[in-house]
Structure 1
Amino acid sequence: MGKATILTLRIIIVLAVLGSLLVQTVIVPLLWYDLEGEALWGRIAFVTIAVLGVATMQVFAICVWQLLTRVSRGSVFSVSTFRYVDVIIGSIATAAVLTFALAVLLAPGDVAPGVVGLICGAALVLGGMALLVVVMKALLRQAIERDNEARTLRSELDEVI
């Protein structure tokens, strides 16, 4: 991966995290205020889903940043990389569950059924993305195993020579 690509991704991550902090510090309190006429349990549930949803994106961003650091150092093909990939899978899966919970929260209200359906579709897409990262993790595992095999063969060949 080129340096320009890594730099561009890092700029995007910084902007996304700054935007998420704005959401957490400004938008969420305004959301709480806007839901003043709703039942307390609904307000708490809705705001909790929003805060946790933003947190999943922040966790995702930190892990991607760490992976980009490993890519730039040439150390991505390491078993320790899996912990970041596992956290990414968990954060996307959590976002999927939170999105579905939002749909369930909105379903009995005045929200159009089509909107609830769209939110359910978004939850499904997020779940699919988590599964896609699981597949990518399997590919990474295979690449690491092949890299280790190649190193072993090189080492044995060096001994023979």
Structure 2
Amino acid sequence: MHPSNLPVTLLRVFLATLFAFLVVFQLMSLPGQFALDAQGPSELAYINWILLVVAELGVLCVQVVIVCTWQLLTLVRRDRIFTEASLRWVDWIVGAFVAGWLLLAGLSAYLVGVIYFTPELRDPGVPILLFGAVLIGAVLVLLMLVLRTLLRQATVLRADMDVVI
């Protein structure tokens, strides 16, 4: 086994394990937990159903990133990472990051509104944490866009080098 294949193989093992974990989490743990919480006597129990939908869609975004990363690892193994094919998979990753960020930003805005209009919930800590999470998500989206631009430039340079050689 080539030394560079070991990290790719290990990453694939962890990606497959993470994907399997997320499927179990998505199908068993999330629905059960939120359904149990929604049965509570609180007048805010409906929020649990909103949280369930957002959590399920968030997990789906992570699963899309895992599948795309798997495909990119296939291209790495075949020494074809600097091709147009890799850009398609990176576009899907960027799309999943954007979708996840939009889910997070929308949920955060909604929850801050609920907190603001519910006097017994007015705690500045939760909105501050949500704002920080949205900022971190925005940084990750922008980082993925920069990395995609770098991959595009490297792909063009590789194509130019292939023509010269």
Normalising by structure 2, report the TM-score. 0.83
CA contact (8 A) 1:96 1:124 kept: no
Give identity over the alignment, percent: 29
Confirm whether residue 46 of structure 1 aligns to residue 51 of structure 2: yes
SS in 2 for 1:76: coil
Please give the per-residue CA displacement for 1:4-32, whole angstroms capped at 9, x wherever unaligned. Answer: 11122112211221221122122222212
Q: Which runs of 5+ in 1 are unaligned?
A: 155-161
Task: Show structure 1 runs of 4+ deviating over 3 A.
Answer: 37-41
Count, aligned residues: 154
Alignment match, 1:157: none
Query: Structure 1 residues 111, 101: CA separation in 2 closer, same or farther (over 3 Å shift)?
Result: farther
Alignment match, 1:6: 8
Structure 2 residue aligned with 1:148, among 159, 162, 165?
Answer: 159
Please give the per-residue CA displacement for 1:102-159, whole angstroms capped at 9, x wherever unaligned. Answer: 32233224374312321221222122111111111111111111111112222xxxxx
Alignment match, 2:118: none
Alignment match, 1:35: 38
Confirm whether residue 100 of structure 1 aligns to residue 105 of structure 2: yes
Normalising by structure 1, report the TM-score. 0.85
Q: Which runs of 5+ in 2 are unaligned?
A: 116-120
Query: Structure 1 residues 135, 52: CA separation in 2 closer, same or farther (over 3 Å shift)?
Result: same
Q: Which amino acid aligns with 1:135?
A: V
Q: CA RMSD in A?
A: 2.0
Query: How big is the shift at 1:75?
Result: 0.8
2 CA distance for matches of 1:117 and 1:12?
33
1 CA distance for matches of 2:44 and 2:129?
24
CA contact (8 A) 2:38 2:46 kept: no
* Larger CA deviation: 130-139 vs 97-106: 97-106
